[in-house]
């Protein structure tokens, strides 16, 4: 049971089949729902993992992958979290006792399918733009968090922010899920998986001003990076500065932090491949998902312990 592989990347159909299979095979802990439909009508499938037992002070952990379609290692990392908490639960029970997990392996399904079928480096959604031949907007520039400060109004650019805030229904669906489930609804940790660069970012993207809990965000991030490095030496930089040259206005992580009030939010820039490509070679998928899982466990433990002080 549980057909999942880390020897190659999985396409949208395979991922969907796997999620359905997990929900069918582990009904006492796993359930599958959709948080909404993409522009072209594909489900944004969310797999929830929760045990009846464990702490009453459980935290909620949300994992968002493939908001950028081309960034294929993200879904693999998300699927490994599911795999670890189901087929390998015997070794991970503590992390189901500490947390309820909400895992969205393909946040941008239309783009993901397009990146398989048409254009390996496709990043955006697939909504046509009026008056332009260029399709889609960057779903990580569509959120209602300092959106209007964005300056990318050219639909042909990969970072196009869209014609209006939440023009991308995929982003709106994520926002509508996060808002009621934010701190009041018990989500404490939000992680969005991107490539590439081996950087673990925390708020903010829209400003270099530090967020109020920057010390804990940075400390927990460094501890997670150490746990990851201990596996086989992979190094990450931990930072609140996205890039000295641009601010990603309207990104999901800032939205999760400011608007949904999730106290710990991180953007993972996972490893990439040679020659600036998004995907690590097939032989690297398994080592990458395994080392990243060690970091996830570290972050969950840190946030779980910090919870009582929030």
- Of the listed pieces 20-28, 142-150, 246-254, 302-310, which binds ligand 0X9 according to CB under 6 A? 246-254
Tokens of 240: 């609140």
Helices (H), the chain: 12-25, 73-85, 93-98, 109-117, 169-181, 214-232, 252-254, 282-306
Q: Which of residues 107-136 bind ligand 0X9 (CB under 6 A)?
A: none
Cis before 196? omega within 30: yes
Q: Which of residues 2-31 bind Zn ion (CB under 5 A)?
A: none
Closest CB 30 distance from ligand 0X9, rounded Å? 28
Q: Cα separation of 237 and 267, whole Å?
A: 12
Closest CB 248 distance from ligand 0X9, rounded Å? 4
Tokens of 261: 């009030």
- How would you classify the pairing of strands 187-195 and 264-270? parallel
Q: Which entry of ligand 0X9, Zn ion, none binds 139, CB below 5 to 8 A by partner kind? A: none
* Single residue of 205, 221, 271, 272 touching ligand 0X9 by CB under 6 A: 205
Which residue's CB is nearer to Zn ion, number 71 or number 152? 71
| Residue environment code for 26-48, b if the CB has 16+ CB neighbours within 10 A, otherwise e | beebbebeebeebbeebbbbbbe
- Of the listed pieces 28-36, 70-78, 163-171, 246-254, which binds Zn ion according to CB under 5 A? 70-78
Q: Cα separation of 190 and 105, whole Å?
A: 13
* Single residue of 58, 141, 188, 194 touching Zn ion by CB under 5 A: 194
Catalytic, out of 223, 269, 291, 294: 269
Which residue's CB is nearer to ligand 0X9, number 22 or number 201? 201
Which residue's entry shows tokens 């996830």? Answer: 296
Site membership for Zn ion, residue 141 (CB under 5 A): no
Nearest 10 degrees: Cα torsion 270, 275, 281, 286: -20
Which residue's CB is nearer to ligand 0X9, number 68 or number 83? 68
- Number of amino acids touching Zn ion (CB under 5 A): 3
Contacts of 95 (CB under 8 A, 6+ apart): 84, 85, 297, 300, 301
Contact track, ligand 0X9, 71-90, x by CB under 6 A: x-------------------
Whether residue 269 lies in the annotated active site: yes
Closest CB 249 distance from ligand 0X9, rounded Å? 10
Closest CB 147 distance from Zn ion, rounded Å? 17
Tokens of 168: 């991308």
Site membership for ligand 0X9, residue 146 (CB under 6 A): no
Closest by CA to 239, choosing from 289, 193, 198, 277, is: 198
- Number of amino acids touching ligand 0X9 (CB under 6 A): 12
* Single residue of 42, 68, 146, 307 touching ligand 0X9 by CB under 6 A: 68
Site membership for ligand 0X9, residue 201 (CB under 6 A): yes
Instruction: Please enumerate, as own/partner, the contacts of 153-158 that have beta carbons within 8 Å and a separation of 24 or more.
Output: 155/129, 156/132, 158/123, 158/124
Site membership for Zn ion, residue 68 (CB under 5 A): yes
Q: Cα separation of 134 and 239, whole Å?
A: 33
* Single residue of 254, 258, 279, 291 touching ligand 0X9 by CB under 6 A: 254
Give the active site residues. Answer: 269
Interface residues toward ligand 0X9, by CB under 6 A = 68, 71, 140, 194, 201, 205, 242, 248, 251, 253-254, 267
Q: Residue numbers of the site for Zn ion (CB under 5 A)?
A: 68, 71, 194
């Amino acid at each position: 049971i549980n057909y999942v592989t880390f020897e190659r990347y999985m396409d949208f159909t395979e991922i969907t089949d796997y999620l359905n299979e997990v929900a069918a095979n582990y009904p006492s802990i796993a359930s599958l729902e959709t948080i909404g439909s993409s522009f072209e009508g594909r489900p944004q499938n969310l797999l929830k993992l929760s045990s009846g037992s464990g702490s009453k002070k459980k935290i909620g952990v949300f994992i968002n992958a493939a908001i950028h379609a081309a960034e294929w290692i993200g879904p693999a990392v998300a699927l490994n979290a599911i795999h670890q908490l189901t087929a390998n639960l015997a070794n991970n029970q503590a992390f189901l006792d500490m947390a309820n997990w909400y895992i969205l392996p393909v946040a941008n399904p239309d783009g993901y399918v397009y990146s398989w079928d048409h254009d390996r480096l496709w990043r955006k959604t697939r909504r046509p733009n009026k008056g332009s031949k260029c399709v889609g907007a960057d779903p990580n520039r569509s959120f209602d968090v300092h959106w209007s400060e964005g300056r990318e109004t050219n639909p042909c650019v990969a970072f196009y922010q869209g014609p209006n805030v939440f023009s991308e229904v995929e982003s709106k669906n994520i926002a509508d899920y996060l808002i009621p489930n934010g701190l009041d609804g018990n989500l404490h940790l939000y992680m969005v998986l991107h490539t590439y660069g081996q950087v673990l970012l925390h708020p903010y993207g829209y400003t270099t001003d530090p967020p109020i809990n920057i010390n804990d965000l940075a400390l927990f991030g460094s501890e997670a990076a150490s746990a990851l490095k201990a596996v086989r030496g992979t190094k990450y930089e931990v930072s609140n500065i996205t890039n000295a040259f641009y601010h990603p206005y309207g990104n999901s992580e800032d939205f999760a932090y400011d608007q949904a009030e999730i106290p710990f939010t991180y953007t993972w820039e996972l490893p990439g491949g040679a020659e600036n490509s998004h995907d690590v070679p097939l032989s690297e998928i398994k080592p990458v998902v395994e080392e990243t899982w060690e970091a996830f466990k570290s972050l969950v433990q840190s946030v779980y312990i910090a919870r009582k002080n929030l």
